Amino acid sequence: MPHIAFRTGKHSPRTAASFRAFGKTVRCVRILFCLFSTLVVAGCANHAAVPDSERDLASLRRQYDTQRTMEYPGVSTDQAIAAATRVFTLAHAGYHILAGRGGVIAWRERAGMDTMFHREHADFWYIDVRASGDGSVLRLRRTAEPDPATSLHAEDHGPGSGRLVAEATINPQETLLAELTESAAPAAIFFKRMDWLLGRNQYWLYCRAAEEYVKMEKLQGDLDSLCLGAGDKRP
């Protein structure tokens, strides 16, 4: 794809520096929350448990890689990028979107609750699309903080700038435990909707259905990034 397409939600996107500052604020709030919870003997109970061993962690990473990767035989990279972009526009969730050069970046801010605290959250989706045989393979990463290796500025992705999503972003050396344990459900929604848009199946995964799967423990993860403050209609 020769150019970068830029789309926004209702609000103008903030600068990359602003999002980096937001990320630091998020980290500080998380630390303060954990400290406070420890003082009241609650601990950080809402955080995922740390794997017992390196073997368990390696197994968790393999499972995560399987959940976030999808192959699309007979689908070109341009078609895959267009469908991925449409998933976010159809969410009607105020996502800002960059698409082109082998990838898609979508991000937004939203309000949310962390137990007793009301604070702002952010959702960042990084999607890498590459040719594979007669089709394409897509890998995604969903985070609560911007990755510094990939710019959110369209002007930084001009001719000669390489791929839209940096390799260090899509395959970080260290992945937050929350990413490893909370990505299955949102990834399932994303890929099911991709499949519908590409004509691969007739099932559009609604948020309300995904919520039931989470309750029944058929899916694990936080659905807010595609469901909170978002539309839930099939196009």
d(CA 206, CA 190): 10
d(CA 195, CA 200): 5
Q: Return the sign of the alpha-carbon dihedral for residues 172, 175, 181, 185.
A: negative
- Residue % of the chain over a pLDDT of 90: 63
Entry pTM = 0.79
Residue spans of the domains in the chain: they are 5-10+52-227
Please compute Rg for the chain using Cα positions.
18
**More reliable by pLDDT, 3 or 62:** 62
> Which tokens belong to 61?
């990473």
SS3 168: helix
Mention every residue, 6+ apart, whose C-beta is less than 8 A from residue 227. 189, 207, 210, 211
- Residue % of the chain over a pLDDT of 70: 75
**More reliable by pLDDT, 226 or 31:** 226
pLDDT, one tens digit per residue, over 15-63 is 455 555 555 554 554 544 443 333 333 333 344 556 778 898 899 999 9
Closest C-alpha among 224, 101, 83, 229 to residue 165: 101
SS3 195: helix
pLDDT, one tens digit per residue, over 176-189 is 888 999 999 999 99
Question: What is the 8-class DSSP label of residue 25?
Answer: H
